[in-house]
Amino acid sequence: MKKVLIFSFTLLAFLSCKKQTENKPLATEISKPNIIIFYVDDLGYGDLGCYGATDVKTPHVDRLANNGIRFTDAHSSAATCTPSRYSMLTGVYAFRKNAAILPGDAPLLIPTDTYTLPKMLKNAGYATGVVGKWHLGLGNGNVDWNTDVKPGPLEIGFDYSFLIPATPDRVPTAYLENHNIINLSADDSLKISYTEPFENEPTGLKNPELLRFQADEEHSEAIVDSVSRMGYQTGGKSAMWTDEDFPNILIGKAKDFIEDHKSEPFFLYFSFTDIHVPRLPNKKFQGKTNMGNRGDAIVQMDWITGAIMEELERLHIDKNTLIIFSSDNGPILNDGYEDGAVELLGDHKPGGPYSGGKYSALEAATRVPMITYWPDQIKNPGVSDALISQIDYFASLAALLGQPLTSKEAIDSQNLLPAIVDASQPGRKMLLEESFTLGLRKGSFKYIQPMGKNASPGWMTRKKVALGFKKVPQLYDLSNDKAETHNVAQTYPELVKEMQADLDSIKSI
């Protein structure tokens, strides 16, 4: 195994959390760790045993938490998927790019000349791979899915990719391996459209009798596997995925990647399809909870995590692998499909003590589970209250590996490496929460900027999530009001002014 110089963690503990522009490794010589980011989709703060859930058991993830660091104030950068992923991979806030949830035919959102997390890791000598949900756009705007689909992950720093191109509820519903849709047959071209239906193809709207469960209007277009999706699709029949097979297929690809690179440092971005809609867990997990498909999908996600950890152990590389486990945004029950998530919820609290969820400006939108696990190097495991954002992974991992960042790269990412490996270390002083508006955390306070003229889209307001979008400034003291029920903006007008000024200065960069 290659050796590198990295910061000594003892020394790191004394370093400030400022973004570093020049990384001069100091002392300890250890093996470069493998790095895996387990990125769950729509998993809420309260959805894991180690975060208090009792109606669903998550022993594999709990084991990571019990032997690593469990964060209580970690955040996805945004309240939805595309913006969070954009920020995690670039270290730049999504609002700077106007990044929003993308349709399945959107072009690649990250320009190929952007310095990205996988490019930085490649410069540090890593083999880089992504397996699972992508949802960051592909191609240049007019993709022919039957030929090379690019640019994509390979053009922004990944050596290998095996993708659900957008989301499981969006066409195309076929796997993309590197530049190509797999299992396509030459005489049955795959075509998709987000505007025009294809003649003779059934849709959820026209043919509800073909569906396993009913969907809302937005999810009532192409039908695949008796489930209607967003967007229209025709052809490519031999390439269509079966949702219930996601665990086996994705674990298989992840294991192959790990096995292929076991003798060199590797970075795997494992991006779950769970527990996003449509929730169609494998037979093995159906009925494992009393919460229906949503609960069973959590069990499936936990099992997948365990299967990949087992592979690391089998190859004896688990001790020198840094695992970062988190979720792209908070929870949602009905996100378009009548799959029982609402009716079967019982006493389970997907957002834990926090209000709101996916899409929202309230805390459960971005405050998500986060666990770090690295048996060789986490000297101080336990529970950490450090305020940390996924946008910080970039600068923190750059610091770990002694990779320099210029002032133009990963501009919003802070080096929080000390907190990532030591539960006693502090986090950020301020943290931005992106949704349809912007929120700012500072000390125990949370400020939500008033909504401008833009109203949130109609479909969002139908989601039955407390959105927290208001035309007046909102200020909450989370130290005594976790659920953000008591707006104290009028009690602390100076603080409101100060936090709006903080937001303005972040925006002005």
User: Residues in the site for ligand NG6, rule: CB under 6 A?
Assistant: 41-42, 80-81, 101, 135, 167, 169, 218, 276-277, 329, 335-336, 459
415 binds Ca ion (CB under 5 A): no
Distance from C-alpha of 136 to C-alpha of 125, rounded to nearest angstrom:
25
Q: Shortest distance, CB of residue 42 to ligand NG6, whole angstroms?
A: 5
Taking the least distance from each CB to ligand NG6, the nearer of 94 and 399 is: 94
Helix axes 292-314, 246-260, angle to 10 degrees: 20
Distance from C-alpha of 174 to C-alpha of 22, rounded to nearest angstrom:
43
Q: Give which of Ca ion, ligand NG6, none residue 154 binds (C-beta under 5 to 8 Å, depending on kind).
A: none
Q: Shortest distance, CB of residue 218 to ligand NG6, whole angstroms?
A: 3
440 binds Ca ion (CB under 5 A): no
Distance from C-alpha of 440 to C-alpha of 449, rounded to nearest angstrom:
8
Distance from C-alpha of 337 to C-alpha of 360, rounded to nearest angstrom:
19
Taking the least distance from each CB to Ca ion, the nearer of 136 and 478 is: 136
Closest of 191, 217, 225, 266 to residue 37, by C-alpha: 266
* Token pair belonging to 412: 């919003």
Q: Give which of ligand NG6, Ca ion, none residue 32 binds (C-beta under 5 to 8 Å, depending on kind).
A: none
Q: Shortest distance, CB of residue 279 to ligand NG6, whole angstroms?
A: 11
Stretch of 75-83, 97-105, 200-208, 284-292 lying at the interface with Ca ion (CB under 5 A): 75-83
Q: Shortest distance, CB of residue 180 to ligand NG6, whole angstroms?
A: 23
Distance from C-alpha of 296 to C-alpha of 354, rounded to nearest angstrom:
23
Closest of 323, 316, 313 to residue 263, by C-alpha: 316
Residue nearest to Ca ion (CB): 81
Q: Shortest distance, CB of residue 276 to Ca ion, whole angstroms?
A: 6
Contact positions with Ca ion (CB under 5 A) in 76-95: 81
41 binds Ca ion (CB under 5 A): yes
Q: Compute φ and ψ for 230, nearest 5 degrees.
A: -90, 135
Q: Give which of ligand NG6, Ca ion, none residue 73 binds (C-beta under 5 to 8 Å, depending on kind).
A: none
166 binds Ca ion (CB under 5 A): no
Distance from C-alpha of 295 to C-alpha of 40, rounded to nearest angstrom:
14
500: number of CA atoms within 13 Å, CB side? 14
Q: Shortest distance, CB of residue 63 to ligand NG6, whole angstroms?
A: 26
Distance from C-alpha of 406 to C-alpha of 401, rounded to nearest angstrom:
15
Q: Shortest distance, CB of residue 167 to ligand NG6, whole angstroms?
A: 5
The count of residues interacting with Ca ion (CB under 5 A) is: 5
Helix axes 59-67, 292-314, angle to 10 degrees: 50
Query: Contact, 307 vs 169, CB < 8 A?
Result: no
Q: Give which of ligand NG6, Ca ion, none residue 335 binds (C-beta under 5 to 8 Å, depending on kind).
A: ligand NG6
Q: Give which of Ca ion, ligand NG6, none residue 449 binds (C-beta under 5 to 8 Å, depending on kind).
A: none
Q: Give which of ligand NG6, Ca ion, none residue 296 binds (C-beta under 5 to 8 Å, depending on kind).
A: none
**Binder of Ca ion out of 42, 339, 412, 434 (CB under 5 A):** 42
73 binds Ca ion (CB under 5 A): no
Q: Shortest distance, CB of residue 89 to Ca ion, whole angstroms?
A: 15
Distance from C-alpha of 402 to C-alpha of 227, rounded to nearest angstrom:
48
Closest of 165, 91, 107, 157 to residue 129, by C-alpha: 157
Stretch of 262-270, 323-331, 363-371, 473-481 lying at the interface with Ca ion (CB under 5 A): 323-331
Distance from C-alpha of 40 to C-alpha of 63, rounded to nearest angstrom:
17
Query: Contact, 151 vs 108, CB < 8 A?
Result: yes
Query: Contact, 475 vs 503, CB < 8 A?
Result: no
Q: Shortest distance, CB of residue 258 to ligand NG6, whole angstroms?
A: 26
392 binds Ca ion (CB under 5 A): no
329 binds Ca ion (CB under 5 A): yes
Residue nearest to ligand NG6 (CB): 81
328 binds Ca ion (CB under 5 A): yes
Query: Contact, 112 vs 141, CB < 8 A?
Result: no
* Token pair belonging to 246: 């996601």
Taking the least distance from each CB to ligand NG6, the nearer of 230 and 499 is: 230
Taking the least distance from each CB to ligand NG6, the nearer of 358 and 446 is: 358
Tokens 């957002």 appear where? 351
Taking the least distance from each CB to ligand NG6, the nearer of 201 and 218 is: 218
Taking the least distance from each CB to Ca ion, the nearer of 421 and 460 is: 460
48 binds Ca ion (CB under 5 A): no
Q: Give which of ligand NG6, Ca ion, none residue 434 binds (C-beta under 5 to 8 Å, depending on kind).
A: none
Query: Contact, 165 vs 138, CB < 8 A?
Result: yes
Residues near 30 by beta carbon (within 8 Å), at least 6 away in sequence: 3, 4, 6, 376, 377
Q: How far is CA 112 from the centre of its chain?
A: 21
Q: Shortest distance, CB of residue 9 to Ca ion, whole angstroms?
A: 32
Closest of 115, 153, 118 to residue 411, by C-alpha: 115
Q: Give which of ligand NG6, Ca ion, none residue 282 binds (C-beta under 5 to 8 Å, depending on kind).
A: none
Q: Which residues bind Ca ion (CB under 5 A)?
A: 41-42, 81, 328-329
